[in-house]
Structure formats: C-alpha cells, structure tokens
Structure 1
Amino acid sequence: MSKQARISTREAAQRLHVHARTVRKWIDSFEEYISPEVNDRGHYMLTEDGFLRLKDIQQRLQETGKSMRQIRQDLVKEGRWEIERLSERPPVEEEAPVVPFGREYPMHRVVGSLDEIGEMLETVFTRLDQLEDHVFTMFDMMEEMEKRMAATSQNTLPAASVQKMMDEIGKKQDQLKVELRNATFSHRLASAAEEPSPYIPRRQKRTRFLGIF
C-alpha cells in the first residue's frame, strides 16, 4: 500500500466523528492490534486495515458498553488478536518510583501529548475570541444608545426603544458570562498541562479594547 493511503489520527478522528485525543487513546490501548506506523515527526499513521480495526473498536465501545480491557479480552477470545502478541510483552517488574527523566518514553507518545496541549490551547483562543466579540458587541450597543441620546433634542427617549436596547444588552451580558466561564475553564485545563513559557503576543485586533483598562 502506498504512503498516500496512510491515514493520520486527525483524518481518522474526522471519519469516526470523535476527537483526535480519543483516537490516540484507542491506538495506545490497542497498539498491537491496530499496528500503527509512526512517521518521521512521531505521529501515528494508519493503514486502511488498521483504520477498520479502529472503527471496530469504536463500535464495540458504543454498542456493548464494555471497557477497553474487556474488549481486548474479547478480541483475544475471538482469535482476532493473537494471544502470542500479548505473551511477547516482557513481564512488568515492580520497582521503586523514579523521576520521569530516568525512564525511556516513546517519542510518539510525547508528540501525542504535545498535540493534545496544542488542541486545548486552540480551544482556549477560540473561546477568548468569542468572548472578545461579545464584549465589543456590548460596547457597540452602548455607543448606539449614546448616539441616539445625543441626536435627540430632548432629554428622553421612547420607553419601548430603551427597553429593547436594554433587553439586548442583558442577553449579551448572559452570553458573556457563559463564554467567560468556558474560557476560564479551558485556560485552567490547558495551564495544568503546559509548562510555563515566555509570552508571545498575539495579533493586535482592536486597540479600543485595551483602552478600558
């Protein structure tokens, strides 16, 4: 089979309608059964047969409600996963805990962890962009109200017009609270998995936003 026929974890995730992290977790748990390849960047690459096995695992998880350990046992009993492969694994020796840097760790696992961190950060930035949009929408609505008040020769505005604008502002405030909670949660989740690094400024978007601080 040609290299062009290899399937990345991202493509597999799109086909199965799951997150790429989920695909990597399944591959890690059924690595000998799926037999993935690892490219020069340390990313998993699947053959079409490997993808079909991955899809079979997904169906078993969804339809049977069994754990991955139980599914592994089922595959062995059915003869689809050769038990010799499992017996080839060296016995796990009990040893005293040591620092992570004192152990060997597969490079593709490290790359997979970095990919997960990148995906979480991408989610954080997306939600922050949505949060920013809600903030500026509220500012625009408040400015519109100020313009209407300045344009009228009287000191009052129609009650219906004011009520409508206040209702819209209230809705935006509620949306802002939801987005703020989501962004805060995602930020904490990503921070927990990421080592501190120098801050790199993102693109400058709207300088008016900085003026409120």
Structure 2
Amino acid sequence: MGIHTYKKSNIVKSTGGFTIVELMIATSVFSFVLLVASTGVVAIGRLYYKGITSSKTQEAARSIIEDVSRARQFTGGNFSSGGSPGGLQSFCFGQDRYTYQINNRVTDDTTVGIRHDVNTDVGNCDPIASGGTELLDKNMRLLNFTVSSVGGGQFSINVRVAYGENDLLSTYDNSGVPNGQPPSSGECKSGIAGSNFCAVSELATVVDKRIE
C-alpha cells in the first residue's frame, strides 16, 4: 500500500485597490481639474456681467440721443438753455426741457442725472430739481453732454454715459476721491476688483429740424 504525500500549496491572491500614493495622485489631479473648472466659471461670470453692464450703458446713451433728436426734429421749437448755482443745467427745444448734472451718479429717485419734462412756460428754460422723467438708470451718470448749433438749422448732440461706482472710474483714485481729471475723460479702470461692473459709452449725432 503506497503512501501519498500531499503538499499544501501557497496561493497568493491579488487584492484589488489603490495604494496611498495612487490615491494622493488621483486626489491632486481631481483638485486641479476642479480648480481649473471653477476659475473658468468665475471668468465666464465676469464676462457675462461685463456684457450686461456695457449693454445697459450703451442703451442709455442711445436712448438719450434719440430722445433729444426727436425733440429737435419734430417739435419745431427754438433752442434755449439755462443753469443754476447748484450745478444743474438745462436746455430746451420748444416745450421739451432737459435738466441734467454732469458727473452726478443716480442713486435714487431724487437724484438728477438727466431728466426730460414738458415745459409749458416756453420763455423759461430754468432747470428743475424734481419731476420729469429720468433717462438714466441707477448707478449711471453723465460724463459729458453737449448740444450746440453747427449752422444751417442743424445741432450737434454728444453724450457720454458711465455706469459704476466712483472708484471704478479713471477720474477718481482707488478711494473714490476725485483726482482732478475732467469727468469727460473718464474711463473704466482695468485689472481691479469690480471692473466688470463698470462701463462707458459715448455717442454723437447731428440733427436737423424736420417741421417748421
């Protein structure tokens, strides 16, 4: 009778999974991808708000140009102007009166940026401190606004509108204090926090009277 000897074989089973080093590498890669994605989302958000701000500012400048142009073209009234010691200025085409204040940011319903009203006292073109329709949205201001005769019954109209806080404009320091530059030269600062909430738009046209 033979004797059979059995040997116990050592079988090594491979356990699946990641080593600590592999997990650290994977975590680092994931964190980097997440950081890049977050940066991209923030950049897209800034561009979006910059676009909205610029569009609103351009629309305000265009609306003012069109409003004043209509007053000149279709009312048939004479041109006159006025002013007051408080900084308010005005001009009139017939009964259409525009009261405005340069570099005065609209903050509420009592602030005068540029207002249009119908003036029944045609011989008086003094500015108004209240009433009328404000043509600028909140946080906007006029940097420049001129209406002047260029001869032949034609008038040149120029308007420059800005959106944003004082410290975002080149005519102020970073604390929002005027730096001595004229408002008409104002531009948006670049590379500072909040610059995506600043915009400047300037439009000009020449109009003639269409009715006598």
> If the length of structure 2 is used for normalisation, what is the TM-score?
0.32
TM-score norm. by structure 1 comes to 0.31
Structure having the higher Rg: 2
Q: Which has the higher helix share?
A: 1
Q: Taking CA–CA contacts closer than 8 Å with sequence separation of 6 or more, which of the two structures ends up with the larger relative contact order?
A: 2
